[in-house]
Structure 1
């Protein structure tokens, strides 16, 4: 009961707004949104980044389940499912009324093909670790096993999917909402190759499909006439492509978009101050953690004394204090509210930090994403003020490959973050597992991996707390591979045209089919 209550507190994800007084409609029935980059190929087996691409994939496709506002799985492409053998196997029963946007029926074989493709090392999927607990998946991913038929995913008939796991997984069904698990069409990939995922050609089965595209400028989504579910209230979506955050704010100021995401605190205040625009602020709790990471492949990043020094020079309360409307301080990986929460870390101690730093080099390169520039500046200033570091700060723009830039620059330090995929504490440890595609630190520890896997398979809260606390201490206090900074709120600005809006309970995206448009404000 306490566990469910904690999830409910963290998942207050809907907001109903009063309709704006009737006036002349602007793009009536059309939702207007902006993303940072053109999606390129919409291959959900290979996509490794979030935001714009994720918004498209979650609204053009669906998985076996979706998560409700409390983070619990509900039927989507699967009408029902059962856990067998203590959670070591799952049987998913597919709906029989689902067809792709070209009219071809969905089959369980579409999932088998897709998952084999994700796990195939030739695909180079950054999220392949998501399916690593399927029987024989590690051996297949490494190339040790060549026969994909030996993977623990089979179609017993056209509408039944059997999944066998290497170990019990309490929340395996919950993870089936994520885009890496979406089905794919073998016939189209065989016919077109990579071109099967071109936005002009891709076949989908979600509530929306791509109707038009001006490459690099704009996408138009329309309702998918073949969608099995309720007809979405939003008829069309106009997706403007603009990588510059300032220009996106200008679109908002000109009432050209209806939802503002990833704006800076200053931009938010400026837009809200213009009362004639009618923007409303909606804040949602975030199941995330922003952190200062160390690149262990570099000489300084690989030096434990250096990592300890910087960790003790960071005061999360000070950092969060510079972002009063955006974040709360992080005292560990797991946010307060989840039952496995526990503080961890070396603590703030500038004197000890100087003792550890001693004669080590104070010149360092620091990489941070443009969308989190305010946090990047706060971290930079703290390290300069407290330790006298000489920092070369490099901003990585939206749409750029952060990992590639990390390799190119050889940066010793970087700012990054992680959002839990479901409301479960183990999700905050996955990025540090040795086989994770998102272990930017380059850290490997088999003891840590074993602890996280034990927690994932345990239904006993006391045992789960114990092993996760030990794993957290190992990463943050002994190895010191990262420093938790803040847990960010998910802040959106909604135009007066938005009557109802719900945010996904974990990751910062939304289902367009849940949005309701009201009367637009007179222009």
Structure 2
């Protein structure tokens, strides 16, 4: 899920300083800071970690709940609900994790290993049909068979051996598995409370209990604002510097800029021309991310093949996009053109330290002549007139990108018509799940720190109906045959990316995002990440003037 940070969050801080005084007594000296308001470019859809859809969900859920592990400000895994890093068996297939004994839910129930076992079994239960169940299916023993209805949920390879011990069995060694556990899909849930709430669980802030640094207040589904309040029952509450955090949904960069200049926002996401204009502003900051913008190419819609089933058409479109122009002149926020599915600076060769993108090279660079050759072949097979729908989210920058792609591709390819539709993010994501689209311009952030997190998008069974036996075989070899052979696994993943992106144009990669913001100099502790939740709030605060 995935996905430069497209959501920024806000807070109000009251810092309490305890100092000694005469007589041996302690007094609390309260230093109040002015309120802080930050923004999210789209709505929060749910507080049920099983149903998470998008950036705001991941960010808020990571603030309100706590998994076994979290990320520090250098993207390194640190124990959270777990007491220590896992003990891993010699074959890499069994993980034993000890939990903290002082973790509580906001209703005072203890957080136990059974809470994790329950949440993961709920996640993989096929009757629920959760989007992110694939993360469980890809990793844990028997999960895939359970998701297909071939085995019972009780056979999932996870077991609470006592209140503070969780044993996890994987279907094969997964060198990245610990990083998966920082993703909200693997957060705990209190079975008694969830079952008491029934279908209302996660739909409003009062229908949830929390085990993370904050609790959520003043929210129900469809609301455009919500608050986070410091969770006094959280085991590490003394390290949480913010008492209150406030969100407002702001979808247009121009609106965000105006609110920032008026003092109503303390961090504002800026894109396009506004980002370019503000690059010399002392409040301007740009953060690297592992998020890419790309176009999903759906090959079957409502049980009927789309024109994108044609490989020549897919290659024409992929080679016909001038990414340099689009990124530098249309997006214009410091993002970079990207020539592969795995982003630069995300993961390195475990033996040599060479970055994946550097080693894999550039795939599908703009080539007008080659694009026109493939277009001619596509027209021979599909006819002289080809019409495609392009779905984008109603975020201002994506609408602008969609319109630019529409104009440039229609100009390059005679006979091509592209219809652009901008929809709310949740609506667009739901349509994509149902494969009810032709092309979908969207973003992606890896769920965990490994190339296969992104490459799995094109494995057979995806919502864009791309299927390639050679590609699947390469991913299977990387996951199974070479699971413990780092050199061969790495080479196989590079080969898989080439097969999916260059040889068959399974999707069109556009750019690697840079998070560009205007930030009040008083704001400290903003931690951006390249996987899991793109932003964490535990350390954020507003420094007093």
TM-score (normalizing by structure 2): 0.82
Q: Does 1:294 align with 2:297?
A: yes
Superposed displacement of residue 136, structure 1? 0.6
- Determine the structure 2 residue equivalent to 1:478: 503
In the superposition, relative to structure 1, how do residues 346 and 153 fare at CA in structure 2: closer, same or farther (>3 Å)? same
Residue pair 1:432, 1:443 contacting (<8 A) in 2 also: yes
Shift in Å at residue 407 of structure 1?
5.5
Number of the residue aligned with 2:235: 228
Which whole-Å CA distance do the structure 1 matches of 2:209 and 2:191 have between them? 12
Deviation at 1:446, TM superposition (A): 4.4
Aligned to 1:284: 287
1:373 aligned to which of 392, 399, 402: 399
1:29/1:446 CA distance change after superposition, 3 Å: farther
Aligned to 1:143: 149
Report the Cα distance in structure 2 between the residues aligned to 1:390 and 1:211, rounded to whole angstroms: 46
Aligned: 1:444 with 2:496: no
Residue 357 of structure 1 corresponds to: 375
Task: Pick closer, same or farther for the CA change 1:211–1:90 going to 2, 3 Å.
Answer: same
8 Å CA contact 1:367–1:394 kept in 2: the answer is yes
> What secondary structure sits across from 2:440 in the alignment?
strand
Between 1:252-261 and 1:94-103, the stretch displaced more is 252-261
User: Which residue of structure 1 aligns with residue 15 of structure 2?
Assistant: none
Is 1:340 aligned with 2:365? no
Q: Are the counterparts in 2 of residues 330 and 485 from structure 1 also a CA contact under 8 Å?
A: yes
Alpha-carbon offset, residue 301 of structure 1: 1.1
Residue pair 1:490, 1:508 contacting (<8 A) in 2 also = no
Between 218-227 and 347-356, the greater mean CA deviation after superposition: 347-356
CA, structure 1 residues 480+218, in 2 after alignment: closer, same or farther (shift >3 Å)? closer
| Counterpart contact for 2:275–2:516, Cα < 8 Å | no
1:374-424 Cα deviation digits (max 9, x unpaired): 43334333312322432211122344333416858x542221232123343
Deviations 1:100-121 (A, max 9, x none): 0110101100011000000011
Displacement of 1:313: 1.3
Comparing 93-102 with 239-248, greater Cα deviation is found at 239-248
SS in structure 1 opposite 2:521?
coil
Alpha-carbon displacement from aligned partner over 1:266-312 (angstroms, at most 9, x marks no partner):
34456778x7xxx7222111212222221111431111121122122
1:476 Cα deviation (Å)? 1.7
Q: How far apart, CA to CA, are the structure 1 residues paired with 2:278 and 2:327?
A: 22
Question: Which residue number in structure 2 is paired with residue 3 of structure 1?
Answer: none
Shift in Å at residue 224 of structure 1?
0.4
Mapped pair 1:210 → 2:216 = yes
For residues 207-239 of structure 1, the C-alpha deviation after alignment (integer angstroms, 9 at most, x for no partner) is 101243487243222110111113311111122
* Unaligned stretches of 5+ residues in structure 1: 1-9, 11-25
How many positions carry a matched residue from both structures?
486
Q: How many Å apart are 1:321 and its aligned residue? A: 2.9
Which region of structure 1 is more displaced relative to structure 2, 181-190 or 249-258? 249-258
Partners of 1:350 and 1:240 in 2: how far apart?
Answer: 43
TM-align CA RMSD: 2.8
CA distance, structure 1, for counterparts of residue 333 and residue 249 of structure 2: 27
Q: Residues 113-192 of structure 1: matches in 2 within 5 Å?
A: 113-132=118-137, 133-145=139-151, 147-192=152-197
Bigger Cα displacement from structure 2, 92-101 vs 217-226? 217-226
Q: CA separation in 2, counterparts of 1:368 and 1:219? A: 25
C-alpha spacing 1:493/1:433, structure 2 compared with 1 (3 Å): farther
- Shifted more, 99-108 versus 374-383: the winner is 374-383
* 8 Å CA contact retained: 1:312, 1:350: yes
Quote the residue 2:207 is aligned against: 201
Pick one of 417, 422, 429 that aligns with 1:395.
Answer: 422
Which residue is equivalent to 1:88? Answer: 93
Q: Deviations over 1:107-158 (max 9, x none)?
A: 100011000000011222101111112111011111121x222110001101
Q: 1:154 to 1:29 in 2, by over 3 A?
A: farther
Matched, 1:78 2:103: no
Give the unaligned 5+ runs of structure 2: 5-30, 349-354
Q: CA deviation at 1:159?
A: 0.4
Q: Can you list the C-alpha shifts for 1:10-40, whole angstroms capped at 9, x where unaligned?
A: 9xxxxxxxxxxxxxxx983643223345535
Alpha-carbon contact 1:340-1:468 (below 8 Å) kept: no
Paired residue secondary structure (1:177): coil
Distance 1:208 1:70, change over 3 A: same
Match of 2:456 in 1: 430
Q: 3-state DSSP class of the match of 1:129?
A: helix
Task: Please list the CA deviations of residues 168-194 of structure 1 after superposition, one character each: whole Å capped at 9, or x if unmatched.
Answer: 010111110100000001101221202
**Correspondence for 2:248:** 240
CA distance in 2, matches of 1:431, 1:155: 31
> Which position in structure 2 is the counterpart of 1:56?
60
Inter-CA distance 241–328: structure 2 relative to 1 (3 Å threshold): closer
Cα distance in 2 for partners of 1:508, 1:421 equals 8
Conserved? CA contact 1:264–1:374, under 8 Å: no
Determine helix, strand or coil for the equivalent of 1:105. Answer: coil
Please list the CA deviations of residues 415-455 of structure 1 after superposition, one character each: whole Å capped at 9, or x if unmatched: 123212334322221222235xxx44221334423423443
Pair 468,37 (structure 1): closer, same or farther in 2 beyond 3 Å: closer
Partner Cα distance (1:346, 1:254) in 2? 44
